[in-house]
Chain A
Amino acid sequence: MSGEPALKYEKVFGRPESLKDNYTHYCPGCGHSIAHRLVAECIDELGLREKTIGVPPVGCAVLAYNYFNFDMIEAPHGRPLALATGIKRTVPDKFVFTYQGDGDLAAIGTAETIHAANRGERISTVFINNAIYGMTGGQMAPTTLLGQEATTTPGGRDARYHGQPIDISRMLAVCDGVVYIERCSLSGVKQIRSAKRAIKKAFRCQLDDLGFALVELLSPCPTNWKMSPKQAWEWVNKVMVNTYPLGVIKDTTGYED
């Protein structure tokens, strides 16, 4: 050995403890895998893993319990927030979050969503808006954009015929039990960082017993949008944000970011 100093390695990036070492079934370019990682990082950084109970949806993320490394329970399609209410009221000292797609949260589960939010349940919700039904193969979602082609909107969504896309986050904002709602996106590095900040803030709302908090994430579904991952990012950034503008929708937390 020469007199040169030994190389020192410092770990700067790794798998969050809250993610299991499993391959996911998500398609290349899918927003779900990014969202999973952000949720896991936030739970790790807040030291919540051992007191977390997560409620995934029926949708592409139904198998989330194979990826998250903490307690989880499947909910029937649309019912995560009712089920999470039962958990949180039974074990109020645990950290309870739901992770839901747009069909789950804003179509079949609309009533459960609005009422849990309005009751101000101390639950945090991560809402994946990909403007399509991923799991069932690309049918219209409540959030599908006008003009967007889905397998059940041949020729594109028509307001008169199919109804307008629903902005559930803004609807929820009028409920007094809701303390924080922000819409972010997963299609770009800057956007992803911002999404993580928002998720963490939503989690804090529960820890500080403030009320219900939700983060909506515009999330690419290249497979059912029939785009490449790169095109899908661009579509979120150029088209989807026009219907769903990013930013804080409600914030009564008083937190300084």
Chain B
Amino acid sequence: MLGEAAVLAGCRFYAGYPITPQNELPEYLSGRLPQVGGTFIQGESEIASINMIIGATAAGARAMTSSSSPGISLKQEGISYLAGMELPAVIANTMRGGPGLGNIAPSAADYFQATRGGGHGDYRTPVLAPSGCQELAEMTFLAFDIADKYRTPVMILGDGMMGQTMEPVVFPDPIDPKDLPRRDYILDGCKGREPRAIYSMILDINLMYQHNLKLLEKYEQITANETRWDTVGTDGAEIVVVAYGTAARIAESAIEELAGRGPKIGLFRPITLWPFPTKQLRSLSENVSKIAVFEFSAGQMLEDVIMSVGDRAEIYFYGVPGGIVPTPAEVAGFLSSVNSGDGKVGRRIEV
């Protein structure tokens, strides 16, 4: 699904190293990319793969790699280079339980890694968190567009559950790479022009300072233009659940289960995790009494929620780490506890 979306979005280069639960993607692309004149390489490691991506994007291709949590850890140096060199690329992470080798169950424990840089240096990675197959297809196009527009690596963050879900999808119109605007910084030989160099090492501290300021300005633009979120039934809600990805879908079912019993509950779903929809959540929290955070982790997005909400509303948290996927009934139990304040499921976060 993600594979076909990538090809339709004009991706012509993929390199990756097998890791469960995302092998369907490279397996699909290994046959599909050659059909459209693209290149598939099974790299010897995640490190090699991300570096192949650096080469391919520098030479002008829309390029993508993918992995799952431990493999994404290995790619971090390369992602930092992409950010420093200002090269576009798309990285898909199908998260699994961790730390260490962890397990292959759907988890969402890589939020910190995805949104806090992951690699070294003062940089940011736009992170898109679709919550279903249709959105995943659209986000794949968006990921390549944001990458090209801002010359930045972009991460698509999903979980194992999404990787295994089958849903009907309508793909956006295919993009022919030839129709994309030509990037004027790529390396294609210096015929008829001055040679170009792409690098991230800037030894002069003043120039490095300027480069950091330039990146910062770009990140501010991305925050202003690309922040995305969704709300369901938040108007007049007393409690608002904050959840992303698959967790948001489970939360939605839980809210439906509780409908008509007790106070009105809405859903706030960040779609970009960086930039986090801080302002939007903040203004929403002015009008609700309780914010209920639900994550497949021990509490990572929670920190962004705390920074957004502060003491404007009471914050409750229910996080299930390790790859366990709670049922809608369990999440409904959490929401009932949030309502009654009995503390049976989840806990109150004191700010």
B54–A69 CB distance below 8 A: no
Once A49-B190, A91-B59 are accepted as A-B contacts, the answer to whether A83 and B54 lie under 8 Å apart by CB is: yes
B81-116 with Cβ < 8 A to chain A: 81, 85
The smallest C-beta distance from B121 to any residue of chain A, in angstroms, reads 12
Q: Which of B78, B192, B198 contacts A73 (CB 8 A)?
A: B198
The segment from A29-37, A74-82, A153-161, A170-178 found at the interface with B is A74-82
Tell me, yes or no, whether A250 is within 8 Å of chain B by CB. Answer: no
Once A86-B63, A89-B39, A111-B45 are accepted as A-B contacts, the answer to whether A70 and B55 lie under 8 Å apart by CB is: no
Once A82-B43, A111-B45, A115-B44 are accepted as A-B contacts, the answer to whether A70 and B190 lie under 8 Å apart by CB is: yes
B55–A74 CB distance below 8 A: no
Task: Point out which of B48, B81, B196 has the most chain A C-beta atoms below 10 A from its C-beta.
Answer: B48
Tell me, yes or no, whether B164 is within 8 Å of chain A by CB. Answer: no
Interface size on A, residues (CB 8 A): 36
Once A71-B187, A74-B85, A90-B56 are accepted as A-B contacts, the answer to whether A79 and B39 lie under 8 Å apart by CB is: no
Instruction: Please encode chain B, from 48 to 65, with 1 for each CB lying within 8 Å of some chain A CB and 0 for all others.
Output: 110111111111110100
A74–B39 CB distance below 8 A: no
Cα distance, A63 to B201, chains bound together (Å):
9
Cα distance, A252 to B47, chains bound together (Å):
31
Once A72-B195, A76-B77, A82-B55 are accepted as A-B contacts, the answer to whether A87 and B187 lie under 8 Å apart by CB is: yes
Chain B residue with the shortest CB-CB distance to A55: B55
Cα distance, A111 to B188, chains bound together (Å):
27
Once A76-B78, A89-B41 are accepted as A-B contacts, the answer to whether A50 and B190 lie under 8 Å apart by CB is: yes
A51 to chain B: which residues have CB within 8 Å? 189, 191
B43 to chain A: which residues have CB within 8 Å? 82, 115
Tell me, yes or no, whether B207 is within 8 Å of chain A by CB. Answer: no
Cα distance, A88 to B196, chains bound together (Å):
17
B47–A79 CB distance below 8 A: yes
Tell me, yes or no, whether A253 is within 8 Å of chain B by CB. Answer: no
Chain A residue with the shortest CB-CB distance to B53: A86
Tell me, yes or no, whether A62 is within 8 Å of chain B by CB. Answer: yes
A94–B188 CB distance below 8 A: yes
Tell me, yes or no, whether A235 is within 8 Å of chain B by CB. Answer: no
Once A69-B195, A74-B198 are accepted as A-B contacts, the answer to whether A82 and B48 lie under 8 Å apart by CB is: yes
Chain A residue with the shortest CB-CB distance to B187: A71
B189–A70 CB distance below 8 A: yes
Tell me, yes or no, whether A214 is within 8 Å of chain B by CB. Answer: no
B81–A91 CB distance below 8 A: no
B188 to chain A: which residues have CB within 8 Å? 53, 71, 91, 94
Tell me, yes or no, whether A237 is within 8 Å of chain B by CB. Answer: no
Chain B residue with the shortest CB-CB distance to A115: B44
The smallest C-beta distance from A230 to any residue of chain B, in angstroms, reads 31
Instruction: Please encode chain B, from 20 to 61, with 1 for each CB lying within 8 Å of some chain A CB and 0 for all others.
Output: 000000000000000000010101110111011111111111
Tell me, yes or no, whether A84 is within 8 Å of chain B by CB. Answer: yes
B197–A53 CB distance below 8 A: no
B48 to chain A: which residues have CB within 8 Å? 79, 82, 111-112, 115
The smallest C-beta distance from A38 to any residue of chain B, in angstroms, reads 19
B200–A74 CB distance below 8 A: yes
A76 to chain B: which residues have CB within 8 Å? 51, 54, 77-78, 81
Tell me, yes or no, whether B15 is within 8 Å of chain A by CB. Answer: yes
Q: Which of A55, A65, A74, A87 contacts B56 (CB 8 A)?
A: A87
Q: Which of A65, A66, A111 contacts B44 (CB 8 A)?
A: A111
Tell me, yes or no, whether B13 is within 8 Å of chain A by CB. Answer: yes
A65–B59 CB distance below 8 A: no
B12 to chain A: which residues have CB within 8 Å? 90
Instruction: Please encode chain A, from 48 to 59, with 1 for each CB lying within 8 Å of some chain B CB and 0 for all others.
Output: 011111010000
B197–A71 CB distance below 8 A: yes
Chain B residue with the shortest CB-CB distance to A53: B187
A49 to chain B: which residues have CB within 8 Å? 190
A50–B189 CB distance below 8 A: yes
Cα distance, A91 to B47, chains bound together (Å):
21
B199 to chain A: which residues have CB within 8 Å? 65, 72-74
Cα distance, A88 to B58, chains bound together (Å):
11
Tell me, yes or no, whether A85 is within 8 Å of chain B by CB. Answer: yes
Chain A residue with the shortest CB-CB distance to B54: A83
Q: Which of B39, B51, B190, B192 contacts A82 (CB 8 A)?
A: B51
Cα distance, A74 to B195, chains bound together (Å):
14
A167-210 with Cβ < 8 A to chain B: none
A65 to chain B: which residues have CB within 8 Å? 197, 199
A95 to chain B: which residues have CB within 8 Å? 189
Cα distance, A148 to B45, chains bound together (Å):
33
B52–A94 CB distance below 8 A: no
The smallest C-beta distance from A40 to any residue of chain B, in angstroms, reads 12
B59 to chain A: which residues have CB within 8 Å? 53, 86-87, 90-91, 94
Cα distance, A114 to B48, chains bound together (Å):
11
A82–B81 CB distance below 8 A: no
5 contacts between A and B (CB under 8 A): A51-B189, A53-B187, A73-B58, A73-B85, A83-B51
**10 nearest CB pairs, A to B:** A86-B55, A82-B51, A65-B197, A74-B199, A86-B52, A86-B56, A50-B191, A90-B59, A83-B55, A51-B189
Q: Which residues of B contact A (CB under 8 A)?
A: 12-13, 15, 39, 41, 43-45, 47-49, 51-61, 63, 77-78, 81, 85, 187-192, 195-201
Q: A53-B189, A70-B189, A85-B52 are in contact. List 17 more A-B contacts (CB 8 A).
A: A55-B55, A71-B189, A73-B58, A74-B197, A74-B199, A74-B201, A82-B43, A83-B51, A84-B55, A85-B55, A86-B51, A87-B59, A88-B55, A89-B39, A89-B52, A91-B59, A114-B44
